[in-house]
Structure 1
Amino acid sequence: MDLLLFNLHDVVLIMTAFQCALFAFFLLVVRGERRISNALLALFLLSQAAIPLDILISFGAGFREWAIQVSPNLFYIFGFAYWLEGPLLLWYTRSLVYKDYLPKHRELVYLLPLLGYVIYQYFVYFRFDSLAKGEMLQDYDLFAESLLTHGIGTLRELLRWVFGIACLVELRRYHARIRDSYSTIEKMDLRWLWILVAGFLVIRSWAVLVNIAIISSAHLDTFFDYRVMGLASNYTVLILVSALIFMSLHGASVFDGLEAEEESGPGPLEKSRGGVQKSANPGKPQIDPELVEKVERSMTREHLFLTPTLTLADLAQHLGTAKRTVSTIINRHFGCNFFEFVNQYRIEEAKARLADPAREEQTILEIMLAVGFNTKGTFNTLFKNRVGMTPTEFRYRSRAPAPLPQNAV
């Protein structure tokens, strides 16, 4: 960034800012089903647009001089986006995970670091007049900044890193909960968001190292080439933002989201006949054998697993009890989650149909759909994990003639 006007590195920052701002505008003006998610994603993208502008104004040789002449107030104003980006990404993640999500009042505590930084910048910069600000900006030297200023920059990146970890924790909980509540999860797969959040987490980790390199070079006489490290980060952010825009368009609107909280009260069955009995340990109620039998019967005799969209809520409604009660029975008595519980019956039914000579004309795809699966990938993976071979291999071996005994005539 040492040319008079701009160079390739500056162009990357401009492209990132323009791309983010353009897509944010698109999200805000185009109405969709997920308005809250789109609004939060738009705000996150606007913060991503502001950050490269802050870098460009602060460190781009040509743009820095231009900004000083136009208005010294352009400096640091875009830097507030660093403190907003983390909460916005977490809120966006939660808006995809939970149905009808809105940030709660207690979650506004995430904005306290931003408020603290606004107050700090007011006293060290914004309270002065334009002439004084211009003098501060002339002959700026990053190394001349105080340890406090560099420490605040490092704290800022650490906070962004913490919010990235919080996003991964939220996605991990989501992954566990969908398997406890749904038998078919292909349309609920947020692996694309896992990858992107992990990518941003890597960038934030790298930003922490950049700030540590600056502190070491400025205050500990241990020089690191933080400029090259920063440029690598700028290029990677452009790639990640492009991926976020592309993947969010294809993957963010396929699932309505989980309920924010599981039901906790007893269902009508428990109220009428004590479906879950009290035990000596109040944290672990005893499991009602009669209800266990009803759960098994719903699969073995009533074949509810053949419904592709079967959910825990559907099964609980069919049994006339609470979701939490059914989930507890499946987890504790059968030793698996709802996804595994239902699909093991689907696999066993598929095995029976594949081995049935009367169904020889049916294709494997037809059988797969008939037993409740929607995609070949999930069916083949679960079948091989449970049976030890692919459906095609199983059908061939089950129909192959048995070899004659060695002493047969």
Structure 2
Amino acid sequence: MDKIDLLIIVTVISLFISLFLAFFLLTVKTKYRTSNTLFAVFLIITAVDTSEPLFSLLSDGPSNLGMLRNTLAFLQIPVFYLYVLSVCYSDFKFKLKYIIHLLPFLLANAVLLPRFYTVDLASKINFIIHRQSMIELQFNHVLFHIQIVIYLIAVFRVLKKAKKLYLENYAGANINSYHWLFQFTVVLTVLYLIVVFKNIFKFSDYSYISEWIKIGILVFQLFIVCWYLFKALNNPGLFRNIDSKLKLASDMVSEEKKSDPETISKEQNSAELLKLKKYMMEEKPFLDPSLTIQHISNGIEIPTRELSVLINHQLGQHFYDFVNTYRIENAMAILKDVTKSKVTVLEILYEVGFNSKSSFNTAFKKHTGYTPTEYRKIL
């Protein structure tokens, strides 16, 4: 089997899986339709981008449609960025300002108008033959790579902020979802770096190396898409936790210092801390696995903003760790109780407010230095 046949086979498999998954995401009934639609669009654009070997077989020569297909790659990473926003923030909605993400795509096509889109077939053929020296294609490749860098940085910034907001305002187990979305973005970054490497050879005297790398990219791309979809479909409740209007505690502290440095006295902080700790010990709100800072705010009648600053800034803990401390202390008490020696670790983690064994084990070891099983054995 030669290189061309292998490329066609891999392309067909890639197209089938990507389009099948996209069709599933667009038709499945779910309340997360916006996120599913965005990821489906991402898959479709990816499929169109990787269909070049098939498109070349079916076309008689360069065409406007073929060039437009090439430039659709400029929409891929912006759509992924919007997808990340939609899964991180529960109140995500399409806004008119998002049209700005079309600019690289429109610019890439605009520069091709004079010497490709508006000329005859002979001129198009000449343009492709001399593509290595065509300033328009060189410009578009530089623009594409700059776009990748900017958007990947933006995605990592969104994930970093969303994770901080989650830790400061929520105490559920869904923090793990950010970890693997981060992992997926890292893998996607590696894929784009390989694409850059491929493009270097594409415009050199070793263009055949670019074709072999293209086959590797198709296989790698299939793997990461299937891996991500497997994760997402097996964990449909992940993400979609954060209200984008929430502010980080550090930002709120800075705002208060600018407006009124003496807004809250040390005595008031001490009184509120005592009230908070008393509420946690007596009411045990941490037993609720979906506990949020808003719930506690309502319970002790302290504004959410003040409570967030109190926990995250004054205590120096994320709300997530603050709540888990009480859960772990409660779990330790159960593990020490000889009358409950037959209660399993799984039963304990659900009883104290966790809903994930991995998050329970991680929090317990962070707090005690031991896993729950090890801790029970040393008692």
> Offset at 1:91?
0.5
1:286 pairs with 264, 268, 271, which one?
264
> Offset at 1:378?
2.1
Contact 2:127 2:134 in 1 (8 A): no
Give the letter for the 1:152 counterpart: N
Normalised by the length of structure 2, the TM-score is 0.86
- Pair 1:242-2:226 in alignment: yes
Match for residue 98 of structure 2? Answer: 107
Summarize the Cα distance change of 1:279–1:123 in structure 2 as closer, same or farther, 3 Å threshold: closer
RMSD of the alignment, in Å? 2.9
Offset from partner CA, 1:318-364 (integer Å, 9 cap, x none): 12232221111001221110111011111112222222334344333
Match for residue 341 of structure 1? Answer: 322
- Pair 1:163-2:144 in alignment: no
Of residues 13-22 and 176-185 in structure 1, the stretch that sits farther from structure 2 once superposed is 13-22
Match for residue 269 of structure 1? Answer: none
Unaligned runs of 5+ in 2: 249-255
> Offset at 1:127?
1.5
1:251 pairs with 235, 239, 246, which one?
235
> Offset at 1:203?
1.4
Summarize the Cα distance change of 1:95–1:177 in structure 2 as closer, same or farther, 3 Å threshold: same
Match for residue 196 of structure 1? Answer: 184
- May I ask how many residue pairs the two structures share in their alignment? 369
Offset from partner CA, 1:372-391 (integer Å, 9 cap, x none): 22233222222222112232
Match for residue 302 of structure 1? Answer: 283
Summarize the Cα distance change of 1:363–1:316 in structure 2 as closer, same or farther, 3 Å threshold: same
> Offset at 1:302?
2.5
Unaligned runs of 5+ in 1: 265-277, 399-409
> Offset at 1:148?
4.2
Contact 2:90 2:244 in 1 (8 A): yes
Match for residue 329 of structure 1? Answer: 310
Offset from partner CA, 1:55-98 (integer Å, 9 cap, x none): 543xx5xx1xx3026x8333212123211101100011111111
Give the letter for the 2:89 counterpart: Y
Match for residue 153 of structure 1? Answer: 141
> Offset at 1:313?
1.2
- The structure whose residues are more often helix, as a share, is 2
Match for residue 20 of structure 1? Answer: 18
Of residues 350-359 and 187-196 in structure 1, the stretch that sits farther from structure 2 once superposed is 187-196
Relative contact order, higher structure (CA 8 A, sep 6+): 2
> Offset at 1:235?
2.6
Match for residue 171 of structure 2? Answer: 183
Of residues 117-126 and 342-351 in structure 1, the stretch that sits farther from structure 2 once superposed is 117-126
1:95 pairs with 86, 99, 104, which one?
86
Match for residue 35 of structure 1? Answer: 33
Contact 2:104 2:143 in 1 (8 A): no
Offset from partner CA, 1:297-329 (integer Å, 9 cap, x none): 111232222222211111111122322211110
Contact 2:38 2:83 in 1 (8 A): yes
3-state DSSP of counterpart to 1:7: helix
Normalised by the length of structure 1, the TM-score is 0.80
Give the letter for the 1:241 counterpart: V
Offset from partner CA, 1:155-204 (integer Å, 9 cap, x none): 21331233223222212222222111221224762333222222221111
Percentage of matched positions with identical amino acids: 26
Of residues 363-372 and 382-391 in structure 1, the stretch that sits farther from structure 2 once superposed is 363-372
Contact 2:293 2:304 in 1 (8 A): yes
Offset from partner CA, 1:8-44 (integer Å, 9 cap, x none): 1122122222322222222223332111111111111
